[in-house]
Chain A
Amino acid sequence: MTLLSVEDLHTHFISRDLDNQIRTARALNGVSFSLDAGRILGLVGETGAGKSLTATSIMGLLRPPARVVGGRALFEGRDLLAMPEAEINALRGRDMALVVQSPKSSLDPLSRIGDQLIRIHRAHRKASERQARERAVQMLASLGIPDPSRRMQAWPHELSGGMAQRVLIALALMNEPRLLIADEPTTGLDVTVQAQILDLLRDLVRRTGIGAIIITHDLGVVAHYCDEMAVMYAGTIVESGPVRQVFAHPAHPYTANLIGATPERLKLGGARTVGGPPPNLFRLPEGCAYRDRCPQAGADCATSPPDVALGAGHIARCHRVAA
């Protein structure tokens, strides 16, 4: 069953420069993908590709100068992008939850962990302080946090990075959301903690049947933890499909380059390494945005490439791909 369906999402940064000219950075240029309940989608791409922006656009968290200028994001059939703020605010933290990359700075420094967990629960559900507290302790325990009652009393600054990330996951899960978006949830954590957190997320999806999007620039994470993947480049999804399929037969030249370029650690890192810098969002080339870096580019690439369906949900956006 389709949980989230993003269709042709466009997000621009619209600002005025010093000469009072309107400048538009076309940061998302037609992002489309869909996610079924019970599945994990890996959204992968190099830094600046627009992964976080995709998440914040969907959740209605953009702040000026960023603005959604087109597209739909259907969550259980309802278009998130057309919802009034009050309505989508009621969904956030309840039916769809976000886990972010900087867990320590994302917790309210002046509230204890327990109080933050209670706060999000009571903001969305009718529950007494005591019920919420019990639930919070259970949640911390279920995430493998030792001595949860004592942790409830902790201040954010007392937590390690990995512990803070668990607390963020606990916050995200307090209201049993049906969609979880984790934006680089393990960046900056050491490798063992990374694996623990990702195992936790995977078990959670398997156990509860929610849908999850893991945003990452680490192809290894995608290979190990995700069912589906979507590869982003300059604000578009250039290729998407089942993880095994895409790894075995990358169809888009960019994906092929990525997978070929990173055989061992499968890590993109700050990867601007794969054949030159990404294009300037203020002056995107006509047609395929990958044109300047693509070894297979031809004259036809000056027109927008089509999404070519390759079967079993595998799609690539390129002139060279044949169904």
Chain B
Amino acid sequence: MAGLLARRIILVVPLLAVILLFTFLLVRISGGDPVGLLAGPTATTEEIALVRASLALDQPIWVQFGVYMGKVLQGDLGNSWLSNRPVLAEILDRAPATIELMFWGVLIGAGIGIPAGLRAAFRPDGSFDQTTRFLSLLGFSVPTYWLGLIMLFVFFYLLGWAPPGMGRIDLFLTPPDRITGSYLIDGLLAADWEAAGSAFSQLVLPVLCVAIISAAPIIKQTRAIALEVLASDYIRYARAQGLPHGQIRAMALRNSMTPVVTFIGTEITGLVGTTSLIEYVFAWGGLGQYGLSAIIAGDFAVVQGYVLVLALFSVLVFLAVDVFVMLTEPRAGATP
């Protein structure tokens, strides 16, 4: 088992190399002079000289790639010309905001989506199934940006239940000392109830948006997976064995989990884009917003780093899913 896991983890290495090659080429083939792209329009002659030297442009291209790889592995992703700060530091600053948003959003989305999908599958075409099918269709068809704006319009402007979408904590509060990077958790850890409360109320609407958008496909997919499991030979045979209904449901549930988790894994990686838009609407200041602004501003060092982090994130999610499958699925051969 350890061997299988190790082999799966080692697979990440060539994948990372390919990703690095891609981000490397991103700047080389975007047209224009890579020095100009990375140094930005406001660069002084010294800055340009510095960037030029760091790229090893007088060397053959594969040496340049080697130099780039070496730097990335040392944590040097270059500097943003907009802020003149190291890209890695900026990414690390913003990552907790995005992780927090996606974590709660997907957790709630899956917490609603999985049970709803299962329940719909247990009584297909029943009233619950029809209602959830309608709702998830809504979730599918509403544009992300618009959903965020409508949420703000209703819950902030009309009802006044939620704070304005202006960041992760009330403007007049100081964020708690950074421990995890999540204002909510750090506030709770520091027993700073005011900060934690404000962080919580700021979280509600954007998290709800992510939850709604992620729940719709989870419901649909869980329902389809569970229906297939319920129609399987082994469930039919479980009925023929006269097993209690509770046990049969539990069996159906367990057998649905691997494909559902795999699906959620792929969904999460796709959800990054959606989350960026929500971050924009709520001025969340996370990675997504950061990446989007960098693309718009042509801040190439940041774009390069952002793409790298996204790819890395996908790799990690798929790795986690694969490890989960290995540990829960006897056919994958690693079950203890």
Binding site for B on A (CB under 8 A): 59, 61, 89-94, 97-98, 100, 102, 105-111, 119-120, 123-124, 155, 157, 171
Q: 9 other contacts beyond A90-B242, A91-B242, A100-B237, with CB at 8 A cut-off? A: A59-B240, A61-B239, A98-B237, A106-B237, A109-B330, A109-B331, A119-B247, A123-B242, A171-B241
- Min CB–CB distance A46 → chain B (angstroms): 23
Q: 3 shortest A-B CB distances, which residue pairs?
A: A92-B242, A93-B242, A93-B241
Q: State in angstroms the CA–CA spacing of A139 and B175 once bound together.
A: 66
A-side contacts of B237, CB under 8 Å: 98, 100, 106-107
- Chain B 218-257, CB-CB to A under 8 Å as 1, else 0, gives 0000000000000011101111111111010001001100
Q: A91-B242, A124-B242 are in contact. Are A106 and B233 (CB under 8 A)?
A: yes
Name 22 interchain pairs, CB-CB below 8 A, sorted by A.
A89-B244, A90-B242, A93-B241, A93-B243, A98-B237, A100-B240, A102-B233, A105-B234, A106-B237, A107-B237, A108-B251, A108-B255, A109-B331, A110-B255, A110-B329, A110-B330, A119-B243, A120-B243, A123-B241, A123-B243, A123-B244, A155-B330
What chain B residues lie within 8 Å of A89 (beta carbons)? 239, 242, 244-245
- CB-CB contacts below 8 Å: B272-315 with A: none
A109-B240 contact given A123-B247, A155-B331, A157-B331, CB 8 Å threshold: no
Residue ranges of B at the interface with A (Cβ–Cβ < 8 Å): 232-234, 236-245, 247, 251, 254-255, 328-331, 335
Q: Which residue of A lies closest to B233 (CB)?
A: A105
- CB nearest neighbor in A for B240: A98
| Shortest distance between the CB of A4 and any CB in chain B (Å) | 16
Q: Which one, A109, A110, A120, A157, contacts B241 given CB within 8 A?
A: A120
B242 touches A108 (CB 8 A): no
Partner of A61, one of B240, B243, B329, B335: B240
> In the complex, A123 Cα to B241 Cα: how many Å?
9
Closest B residue to A172 by beta carbon equals B241
A110–B254 touching, CB < 8 Å: yes
* A108 to B236 Cα, complex, angstroms: 10
Would A105 and B232 be within 8 Å (CB), given that A155-B331, A157-B331 are in contact? yes
For A59, A90, A123, the residue with the greatest tally of chain B CB atoms inside 10 Å of its CB is A123
A124–B244 Cα distance when bound, in Å, is 9
**Which residues of chain B have C-beta atoms less than 8 A from A111's C-beta?**
251
CB distance from B232 to the nearest CB of A (A): 7
State which of B234, B244, B328 has its C-beta within 8 Å of the C-beta of A108: B234
Tell me the nearest residue of chain B to A181, going by C-beta: B240
Point out the residue from B233, B241, B251, B328 that lies within 8 Å of A92, measured CB to CB: B241
Measured in the bound complex, the distance between the Cα atoms of B234 and A171 in whole Å is: 13
Residue of A nearest to B328 (CB): A110
Note all chain B residues with C-beta closer than 8 A to A157: 330-331
**In the complex the two chains form, what is the Cα distance from A107 to B255 in whole Å?**
12
Cα distance A142–B123 in the bound complex, in angstroms:
41
**Min CB gap B259→A, angstroms:** 12
Residues of the A chain whose Cβ atoms lie less than 8 Å from the Cβ of B244: 89, 123
Complex Cα distance A157/B238, Å? 17
Instruction: Determine the distance from Cα of A41 to Cα of B236 in the docked complex, in whole angstroms.
Output: 24
Verify B236–A61 contact, CB threshold 8 A. Answer: yes
B245 → chain A closest CB, angstroms: 8
Residues in B neighbouring A119, C-beta threshold 8 A: 243, 247
> From residue A275, how far is it (CB to closest CB) to chain B in Å?
33
From B245, which residue of chain A is reached at the shortest CB distance?
A89
| Chain B residue nearest in CB terms to A98 | B240
How far, in angstroms, from A111 to B328 measured CA to CA in the complex?
11
- B-side contacts of A106, CB under 8 Å: 233-234, 236-237
A100 to B329, CA, bound (A): 24
CB distance from B58 to the nearest CB of A (A): 58
Inter-chain CA distance A65–B261, complex, in Å, is 32
Which chain A residues lie closer than 8 Å to B233 at the CB level?
Answer: 100, 102, 105-106
Q: Give chain B residues whose Cβ lies under 8 Å from the Cβ of A91.
A: 242
Q: Are A93 and B234 in contact (CB under 8 A)?
A: no
User: Which residue of chain A has its CB nearest to the CB of B238?
Assistant: A108
Q: How far is the CA of A98 from the CA of B241 in the complex (A)?
A: 8
The residue in chain A whose Cβ has the minimal distance to the Cβ of B330 is A155
**Which chain A positions have C-beta within 8 A of B238?**
108
The docked-state distance in angstroms from the alpha carbon of A85 to that of B301 is 67
A61 to B239, CA, bound (A): 7
| Residue in chain B with minimal CB distance to A85 | B245
Chain B: minimal CB distance from A251 (Å): 34
B334 to chain A, nearest CB (A): 12
B255/A94 in contact, CB under 8 A: no
Separation in Å of the B229 CB from the closest CB of chain A?
10
Min CB gap B241→A, angstroms = 4
Residue of B nearest to A100 (CB): B237
- Minimal beta-carbon separation of B26 from chain A (angstroms): 43
- Distance in angstroms between the alpha carbons of A110 and B234 in the assembled complex: 10
Bound Cα distance A163, B234 (Å): 16
Find chain A residues with CB under 8 A from B236 CB.
Answer: 61, 106
Q: How far is the CA of A89 from the CA of B240 in the complex (A)?
A: 8
Q: What chain A residues lie within 8 Å of B232 (beta carbons)?
A: 105
In the bound complex, what is the Cα–Cα distance between A97 and B237 (angstroms)? 10
- Taking CB atoms, residues of chain B closer than 8 Å to A98 are 237, 240
In the bound assembly, the distance between CA atoms of A74 and B140 in angstroms comes to 52
Query: Which residues on A sit within 8 Å (CB–CB) of B254?
Result: 110
